[in-house]
Amino acid sequence: MPRRVDHQERRQRIAGALWRIASTRGLEGASLRDVAAEAGISLGQLQHYFATREEMLRFTLEHFSALSGERIRKRVATGYPEPTPRAVLREIAAELLPLSEEQRVALRVQLGYLVRVLHDEGLRPQAREGVLALRGLLADQLRIAAERGELTAGLDPEREAVRLLALTDGLANAVLLDVLAPGAAMGLVDEHLGGVFGG
């Protein structure tokens, strides 16, 4: 047996290269040769780790969406002062908005991914599950708030989860398009939360 290489690590390195290219030229604009060059490897080596372009795209998207989910869960779990439902929801929204350059890049790529999903039936289930999981996370917090009586009367946690997620999503798009400042987006989230929590 010859030397064994950490496949997972190599794949992640390639995924990073693809991510960097996709952030400027878009997912579809990244050819195998481009990615290989960006990763500093040969086309042959890239193909050794990803037999097909589709496989490379799929792995990369799964990798980064897993990273994103992990970051969110970490934000929720980590002990910050007073992990109230409202504070948790604020943290999640902050994670979903393009407040930093890194988030901006990620959102730009993810938007390209969304388009891809809309045109490709096969990718839809995974994307749907991701959204539904996130929505569930928000709904959990809202339900806790409702039990504590912190929620504005008459609001349904499940519906408010959908509304907050949609709002954040829309605000993110606006910030990406430079028609809304990142700070203003966060301000609107806060104002929205103010209305949801016993305004």
Cβ(17)–Cβ(30) under 8 Å? no
Binding partner at 7 among DNA, a second copy, none, C-beta below 5 to 8 Å by kind: DNA
Binding partner at 15 among DNA, a second copy, none, C-beta below 5 to 8 Å by kind: none
Q: Which of residues 132-161 bind a second copy (CB under 8 A)?
A: 132, 135, 159
* Polymer length in residues for the chain: 199
> What are phi and psi for residue 154, nearest 5 degrees?
90, -5
Selected range binding a second copy among 1-9, 54-62, 130-138, 141-149, rule: CB under 8 A:
130-138
Place of tokens 């798009």: 173
Closer CB to a second copy, 45 or 126, in the complex? 126
131 binds a second copy (CB under 8 A): yes
Selected range binding DNA among 36-44, 92-100, 150-158, 166-174, rule: CB under 7 A:
36-44
Positive or negative torsion for Cα 93, 62, 3, 35: negative
Q: Which of residues 103-122 bind a second copy (CB under 8 A)?
A: 108, 111-112, 114-119
Site string for DNA, 44-73 (x = CB under 7 A): xx-xxx-xxxx-------------------
Q: At what angle do helices 124-148 and 53-77 cross, to 10 degrees?
A: 10
Cβ(198)–Cβ(151) under 8 Å? yes
180 binds a second copy (CB under 8 A): yes
Q: Decide: residue 53, CB within 10 A, 0-12 exposed, 13-18 middle, 19+ buried.
A: middle
Residues in the interface with a second copy (CB under 8 A) total 42
Tell me which of 29, 42, 102, 147 binds a second copy, using CB under 8 A. Answer: 29
Selected range binding DNA among 2-10, 59-67, 159-167, 188-196, rule: CB under 7 A:
2-10
Alpha-carbon span 130 to 169, nearest angstrom? 14
Q: Decide: residue 13, CB within 10 A, 0-12 exposed, 13-18 middle, 19+ buried.
A: middle
